[in-house]
């Protein structure tokens, strides 16, 4: 079962927000630009550099940006950074967080946005200067936190990546893969949809059919995911799983149309886990299937969408009497 919504007939020619540019024929990720939060403290105008992957803001001394504002929570909000994407997340604060006067829980920041936290106003400024040491500071925890925070903006997919990670690890174990592979496959499951960071919420939450432009945005997320993670050497082994997790065993998938065992095994595992969790979760465009219905669908798609060996392992996990 291909869980991508069908496109409608109207082409919507809106501008795509992509961080990729080109040198010759090869796409590459733009260099990381510096950014700051500018705010006033005791009548002084202060800049705070967003030069680490996560910046927690609050009045606690444990916050990265500690502000003496009693209307703030101890850890009130955080900025998540990956390349030139900056996201603001409210950390269940007691007084909330606003951007440009609108209360938010999670959103992508744009140059000159005004953030109100407690009684302190911050202005987000993205600079032209390049941050050459950014990649050295990025770590797995930061990337995983971003992936989970990005999916949390969609109530229909909250928890999806963690569930895909757990199912993928379980499948790999049932299939007898070496124990050293299991944790790496789990990480691939967590990060498989990180490329959706560039997909607008209006597309992710759309209840009707996607137009061709919107469908293109959705189908680019494996490519964007690979390009986001490519600079990180410690994630090199999971890139094929992120890039190929929407391929089909019969060659009808994307982004490359690989078929059969030419699709990397980890990607075939994540694909089945992703398909199962998508089918058994409510989405804006359809209700969830039951465990039994999803199991039948996995069997039906064996050899077409799904690798038969992985589908068989999923059948063993979903067999009557097994916890699901």
For residue 91, with 0-12 CB atoms within 10 Å meaning exposed, 13-18 middle and 19 or more buried, which class applies? middle
Non-local (6+) Cβ contacts of 146 within 8 A are 53, 80, 81, 82, 87, 194, 197
Contact 304, 248 (CB under 8 A): yes
Tokens encoding 105? 């829980």
d(CA 282, CA 265) in angstroms, rounded, equals 28
Give backbone dihedrals phi and psi of 279, rounded to 5 degrees, phi first: -65, -35
d(CA 216, CA 221) in angstroms, rounded, equals 9
Q: Which residue has the tokens 């059969």?
A: 260
Give the mean pLDDT per block of 10 residues along the chain (324 residues).
41 30 43 89 87 90 95 95 83 95 90 97 92 71 73 72 95 96 94 84 81 91 88 87 97 97 98 95 81 92 97 91 58
d(CA 273, CA 281) in angstroms, rounded, equals 12
The pTM of this model reads 0.70
Q: Which residue has the tokens 């911050």?
A: 122
Distance of CA 89 to the CA centre of its chain: 14
Angle between helix axes 179-191 and 265-279 (nearest 10 degrees) is 50
Give backbone dihedrals phi and psi of 292, rounded to 5 degrees, phi first: -70, -40
Q: Which residue has the tokens 């606003």?
A: 98
d(CA 237, CA 243) in angstroms, rounded, equals 11
pLDDT of residue 183: 92
d(CA 113, CA 124) in angstroms, rounded, equals 5
Contact 198, 223 (CB under 8 A): no
pLDDT of residue 13: 27
Angle between helix axes 160-174 and 265-279 (nearest 10 degrees) is 130
pLDDT of residue 321: 64
Residue 236 DSSP SS3: helix
Residue 217 DSSP SS3: helix
pLDDT of residue 19: 37
């Amino acid at each position: 079962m291909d869980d991508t919504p069908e496109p409608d007939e109207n082409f919507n020619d809106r501008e795509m927000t992509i961080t990729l540019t080109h040198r010759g024929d090869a796409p590459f990720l733009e260099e990381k630009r510096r950014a700051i939060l500018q705010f006033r403290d005791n009548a002084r105008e202060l800049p705070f550099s967003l030069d680490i992957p996560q910046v927690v803001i609050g009045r606690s001394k444990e916050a990265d940006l500690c502000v003496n504002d009693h209307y703030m929570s101890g850890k009130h909000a955080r900025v998540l950074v990956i390349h030139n994407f900056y996201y603001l997340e409210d950390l269940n604060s007691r007084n909330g967080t606003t951007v440009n006067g609108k209360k938010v829980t999670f959103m992508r920041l744009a140059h000159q946005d005004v953030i109100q936290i407690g009684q302190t106003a911050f202005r987000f400024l993205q600079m032209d200067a390049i941050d050459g040491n950014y990649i050295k500071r990025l770590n797995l925890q930061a990337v995983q936190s971003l992936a989970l925070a990005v999916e949390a903006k969609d109530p229909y997919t909250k928890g999806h990546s963690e569930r895909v990670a757990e199912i993928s690890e379980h499948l790999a174990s049932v299939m007898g893969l070496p124990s050293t592979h299991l944790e790496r496959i789990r990480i691939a499951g967590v990060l498989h949809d990180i490329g959706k960071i560039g997909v607008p919420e209006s597309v992710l939450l759309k209840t009707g059919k996607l137009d061709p432009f919107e469908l293109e945005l959705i189908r680019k997320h494996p490519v964007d995911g690979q390009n986001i993670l490519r600079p990180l050497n410690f994630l090199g082994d999971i890139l094929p799983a992120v890039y190929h997790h929407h391929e089909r065993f019969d060659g009808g998938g994307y982004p490359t149309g690989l078929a059969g065992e030419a699709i990397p095994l980890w990607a075939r595992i994540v694909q089945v886990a992703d398909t199962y969790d998508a089918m058994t979760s409510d989405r804006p465009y359809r209700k969830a299937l039951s465990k039994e219905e999803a199991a039948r669908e996995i069997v039906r798609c064996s050899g077409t969408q799904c690798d038969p060996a992985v589908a068989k392992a999923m059948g063993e996990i979903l067999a009557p009497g097994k916890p699901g």
